[in-house]
Chain A
Amino acid sequence: MRITINGEVEEFGEQGLTVLRLLQVKKVESPEMVAVQLNGVFLDREGFAATVLTAGDEVDFLYFMGGGGR
Chain B
Amino acid sequence: MTDFSEEQLHRYSRHILLEDVGVEGQARLLAGKVLIIGAGGLGAPVALYLAAAGVGTIGIVDNDHVEISNLQRQITHFTEDIGAAKVESAAAKMRAVNPDVTVNTYRQYVSAANIRELIRGYDFVVDGVDNFPTKFLINDACVMESIPFSHGGILRFDGQTMSVVPGKSACYRCSFRKPPPPDAVPTCSQAGVLGAIAGMLGTIQAAEALKYLTGTGRLLTDALLSFDAKTMDFRKIRLRRQENCPLCGSSPSITELSDMEQAVCGLKRRA
Contacts and interface: CB of A to CB of B under 8 A. Distances in A.
Interface of A: 6-7, 30, 32-33, 35, 37, 40-42, 60, 62-70
A67 B235 contact: no
9 contacts: A32-B180, A35-B175, A62-B224, A64-B176, A66-B130, A66-B132, A66-B185, A67-B130, A70-B188
Contacts of A63: 158, 160, 226
Contacts of B244: 42
Contacts, number: 96
A68 B237 contact: no
Contacts of A33: 180, 184-185
A66 to B, nearest CB: 5
B265 A35 contact: no
Nearest to A60: B237
Main secondary structure of the interface of B (DSSP, over half): mixed
Categorize the interface residue count of chain B: 35 or more
Contact of A37 (B129, B237, B265): B237
B242 A68 contact: no
Given A66-B135, A68-B153, A41 B242 contact: yes
Interface of B: 38, 40-43, 62, 64, 70, 127-132, 135, 152-155, 158-160, 174-177, 179-181, 184-185, 188, 191, 193, 198, 201, 224, 226, 235, 237-240, 242, 244-245, 264-265
Contact of A35 (B128, B176, B240): B176
A20 B238 CA distance: 22
A63 B184 CA distance: 12
A68 B174 CA distance: 21
Top-6 shortest CB links A-B:
A69-B130, A65-B153, A32-B184, A69-B40, A68-B42, A69-B38
Nearest to B134: A69
Nearest to B265: A70
